[in-house]
Amino acid sequence: MGDDANEEDLALMALVARGDEKAFARLVEKHQHAVLGTVAKMTNRSADTEDIAQQVFIRLWKSAKRYEPSAKFTTFLFTITRNLVFNVTRKKSRRKEHSFDEQEDEWHQSIEDTNPQSRPDHSLANAELKKVVDLAIASLPEKQRLAVILRRYEQMPYEEIADVLELSVSAVKSQLFRARTALREALEPYLKD
């Protein structure tokens, strides 16, 4: 996202701070897909993905009057997203909801239920591989997972990821290196063909 887009976001946020609902709607419209996509990838598309994304924007609205632009607007937005997602995933891990094994069982069931005659073989293979990749990403520690999602899917620069994760740029690069190594190992059986 360029400087012009950031300037527009900052101007909209200033209007939101004064209670401008149209400016808020524009910010939501501009960023909802990125937030929803990030939350979905972080939560492995859990049932509460949309609720979490909605909470991100509710928090954005509530914090508008206190907002001080010290970094790019998207850094602020994805920091809110990070905090909410990490809180939810920590609560779930304490309650042991939706373990990786359960997700893997769900994946096997969804593959078994697929009618191979209704789709070409390559489409099914691509869908299977995408699901395996999503599960591998979901199994990463949360900071590595968010770093991968922000870099790969949101094309966020290292510096902005560092701000969102509250890490140094070198620590972000280290997180990404460890994540890529883990993903390569997890996906190796699927990539040999």
pLDDT at 111 > cutoff 50: no
Domain ranges of the chain: 1-97
pLDDT reading at 117 higher than 80: no
Q: CATH code for 1-97?
A: 1.10.1740.10
Alpha-carbon distance 57 to 130, whole Å? 28
CA–CA gap between residue 4 and residue 7 (Å, rounded)? 5
Q: How confident is the model at residue 109 (pLDDT cuts 50, 70, 90)?
A: very low
Predicted model pTM: 0.74
Q: What is the 3-state secondary structure (H, E, C) of 150-188?
A: HHHCCCCCHHHHHHHHCCCHHHHHHHHHHHHHHHHHHHH
Query: pLDDT tens for residues 10-42?
Result: 999 999 999 999 999 999 999 999 999 999 999
Cα separation, 166 vs 154, in Å, equals 18
